[in-house]
């Protein structure tokens, strides 16, 4: 049986999860907005259920990863996510088969599995990789994995468009769920964990001792954050970023479908237009990743903070431009601009965090960051959705842009060393 190096396994995970996610989420609006007929508030409620689940389970699952092993946590997450996505794709059929429970309610239930599965993986995958390959190689592998993920996204986009347009708007979710289940089986065989040091366990065992171990690990992660001011700043960034991005992520496709429209001169199905946007975004992101990997010194914190400050300001501009787009062409440029910014910020954020957290608490601290992101999305999402239902989706997008503004102040202080 062939052995895979940890970096190869991590890049394969990035490729497969990106493939599955692009298959499901490229045309999600056709399923949720057109097929199921969800309004802006319902779209944000779907996100709220997901994020409340993350908020409740993120800390627990992060501690599980640091206490019992990152491999166990990641594989568990893959199987839970796979089941959740299959359930989400089946919500349409289940709603038709059971009039007592609507498709919307099945959709909400699937978000619980989505959230639990995501929390098992969040932080654990990158913590496992950093421990296995060493901190010096982590930044380079994060970049390479991101690039591998973009190639997976390209394939997933094509699958999403073809499946949604010709077979069924819900089928991309079922295919994506099956891909997650297949990845879980692969990791069960080929994912090795050699660098993880299991915390010392006291004699006696039992359920109470397990909870004590997890509590101790969680408290150590909280202590790391309290003792490092920059991590506290990043908590604030993550909180507002979560609140702002939730509105954009859930509503930009609905904005294009209902308020902007697609060019009438080309009689393409909606799935094809969304696929074209996703392909353009991914190709441009590949180019940007190639430039960033060679031009930005990821080890220089001032350079990283200055870049993230500028990119956050650009995010605000991109969302406002989308909200007030006079036509499809302007909206397309705004969406592509926003996605390029997101692509650049991800590896910077992950690299900086992983290199400034102790190994023994790495997965816990990363999970706490994800928990903060979930808190922001839980608090901001329904309010932004209400604005879209009460007024317009344009108004929701403007509100999302405004929530990015406090992040500029935080990055300014971090850049200046205050």
Q: Cα–Cα distance between 320 and 111 in angstroms, integer? A: 29
- Tally of structural domains, the chain: 1
| Burial of 168 (C-beta count, 10 Å sphere; 0-12/13-18/19+) | middle
Q: Would 197 be classed as within a structural domain?
A: no
pLDDT at 6 over 90: no
Environment class of 159 (CB within 10 Å of its CB; exposed 0-12, middle 13-18, buried 19+): buried
**Domain annotation covers residue 1:** no
| pLDDT at residue 369 tops 80 | no
Nearest to 31 by CA among 97, 140, 83, 104: 104
pLDDT at residue 323 above 90? yes
pLDDT band at 335 (very low <50, low <70, confident <90, very high): very high
pLDDT at 52 over 60: yes
pLDDT tens digits for range 207-220 = 455 556 556 656 66
64: pLDDT strictly greater than 70 = yes
Averaged pLDDT score across all residues of the chain: 82
DSSP label at residue 359: G
Does 98 or 399 have the greater pLDDT score?
A: 399
User: What letter would DSSP give residue 258?
Assistant: I
Q: Does residue 313 have a pLDDT over 80?
A: yes
Please tell me the distance from the alpha carbon of residue 279 to that of residue 354, in angstroms, as a whole number: 30
DSSP assignment of 105-118 equals HHHHHHHHHHHHHH
Quick one: pLDDT at residue 117? 94
Length of the chain as a residue count = 418
Q: Is residue 198 part of a domain?
A: no
Instruction: Give the residue, 7 or 79, on which the prediction is more confident.
Output: 79
Cβ neighbours of residue 138 closer than 8 Å, sequence gap 6 or more: 129, 130, 351, 354, 355
Residue 146 included in any domain:
yes
H helix runs in 356-392, sequence order: 362-390
Mean pLDDT calculated for residue range 335-344: 88
* Of 130-144, 161-175, 190-204, minimum mean pLDDT range: 190-204
Cα–Cα distance measured from residue 266 to residue 171, given in angstroms and rounded to the nearest whole number: 26
- At residue 409 the predicted structure's pLDDT band, cuts being 50, 70 and 90, is confident
For residue 39, is it within any domain? Answer: yes
Report if residue 383 sits inside a domain. Answer: yes
- Choose the weakest-confidence range: 299-303, 323-327, 380-384: 299-303
Determine how many CB atoms are found less than 10 A away from the CB of residue 85.
28
Q: Which domain holds residue 42?
A: 6-192+204-415
User: What's the pLDDT at 206?
Assistant: 43
Report the C-alpha gap between 228 and 297 in whole angstroms.
22
The answer to whether position 77 is within a domain reads yes
Contact criterion met (CB below 8 Å) for 371 and 55 = yes
Give the pLDDT score at 205.
46
User: What is the sign, positive or negative, of the torsion defined by CA atoms of 273, 81, 135, 358?
Assistant: positive
Q: Is 297 left (phi over 0), alpha (psi -120 to 50) or beta?
A: beta
Contact 118, 47 (CB under 8 A): no
| Rounded Cα–Cα distance for residues 219 and 335 (Å) | 40
Mean pLDDT of 25-36: 91
Tell me the C-alpha distance between 39 and 385, whole Å: 9
Chain centroid offset of residue 15 CA: 14
pLDDT at 204: 44
Q: Is residue 38 part of a domain?
A: yes
Q: Residue 39, Cβ neighbours under 10 Å: how many?
A: 15
Cα-based distances in Å from 62 to 20, 39, 372? 23, 34, 13
Query: Which residues neighbour 98 within 8 Å (Cβ) at sequence distance 6 or greater?
Result: none
CA–CA separation, 249 and 252 (whole Å): 6
What is the chain's alpha carbon radius of gyration, rounded to the nearest angstrom? Answer: 21
CB contact at 8 A, 74 and 191:
yes
For residues 77 and 72, give the distance between their C-alpha atoms in angstroms, rounded to a whole number. Answer: 9
Tens digits of residue pLDDT in 233-279: 777 788 888 888 878 888 888 889 888 888 877 778 888 998 999 88
The pLDDT of residue 84? 97
Q: What is the pTM of this model?
A: 0.76
- DSSP letters, 195-212, are S--PPP--TT-HHHHHHH
Report whether pLDDT(288) > 50.
Answer: yes
Query: In angstroms, rounded to a whole number, what is the distance separating the alpha carbons of residues 58 and 120?
Result: 7
Residue partners of 389: CB distance under 8 A and separation at least 6: 39, 40, 41
Alpha helices (runs of H) in 228-327, residue ranges in sequence order: 229-255, 270-295, 301-323
| CATH number, domain containing residue 318 | 1.20.1250.20
Rounded Cα gap, residues 128 and 121, in angstroms: 10
Mean of pLDDT values over 156-180: 94
Q: Which three-class secondary structure state does DSSP give residue 99? A: coil
Structure tokens at 150: 């973009």
> At residue 367, what are phi and psi to the nearest 5 degrees?
-65, -35
| pLDDT, tens digit, 9 for 90 and up, residues 75-89 | 999 999 999 999 999
């Amino acid at each position: 049986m062939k052995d895979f190096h940890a970096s190869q396994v991590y890049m394969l995970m990035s490729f497969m999860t990106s493939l599955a996610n692009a298959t499901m989420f490229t045309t999600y609006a056709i399923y949720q907005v057109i097929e199921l007929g969800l309004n802006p508030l319902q779209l944000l409620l779907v996100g709220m259920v997901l994020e409340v689940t993350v908020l409740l389970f993120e800390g627990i699952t992060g501690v599980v990863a640091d206490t019992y092993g990152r491999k166990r946590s990641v594989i568990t997450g893959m199987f839970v996510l796979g089941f959740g996505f299959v359930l989400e794709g089946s919500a349409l059929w289940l709603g038709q088969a059971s009039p007592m429970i609507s498709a919307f309610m099945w959709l909400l239930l699937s978000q619980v599995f989505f959230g639990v599965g995501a929390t098992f993986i969040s932080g654990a995958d990158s913590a496992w990789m950093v421990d296995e390959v060493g901190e010096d190689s982590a930044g380079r592998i994060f970049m390479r994995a991101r690039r591998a993920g973009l190639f997976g996204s390209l394939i997933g986009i094509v699958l999403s468009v073809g499946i949604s347009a010709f077979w069924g708007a819900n089928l991309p979710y079922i295919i994506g769920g099956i891909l997650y289940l297949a990845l879980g089986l692969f990791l069960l065989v080929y994912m090795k964990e050699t660098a993880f040091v299991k915390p010392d366990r006291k004699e006696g065992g039992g359920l109470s001792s397990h909870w004590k171990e997890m509590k101790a690990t969680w408290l150590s992660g909280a202590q790391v954050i309290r003792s490092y001011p920059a991590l506290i700043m990043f908590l604030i960034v993550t909180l507002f970023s979560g609140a702002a991005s939730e509105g954009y992520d859930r509503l930009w496709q609905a904005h294009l479908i209902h308020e902007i429209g697609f060019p009438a001169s080309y009689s393409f199905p909606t799935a094809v237009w969304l696929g074209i946007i996703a392909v353009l975004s991914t190709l441009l992101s590949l180019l940007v990743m190639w430039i960033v990997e060679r031009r930005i010194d990821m080890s220089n914190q001032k350079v990283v903070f200055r870049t993230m400050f500028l990119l956050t300001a650009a995010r605000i501009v991109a969302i406002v431009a989308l909200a007030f787009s006079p036509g499809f062409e302007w909206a397309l440029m705004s969406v592509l601009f926003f996605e390029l910014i997101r692509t650049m910020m991800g590896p910077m954020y992950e690299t900086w965090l992983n290199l400034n957290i102790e190994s023994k608490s790495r997965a816990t601290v990363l999970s706490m960051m994800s928990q903060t992101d979930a808190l922001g999305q839980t608090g901001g999402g329904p309010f932004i959705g209400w604005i879209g239902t009460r007024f317009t989706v344009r108004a929701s997008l403007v509100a999302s842009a405004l929530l990015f503004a406090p992040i500029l102040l935080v990055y300014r202080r971090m850049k200046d060393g205050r």
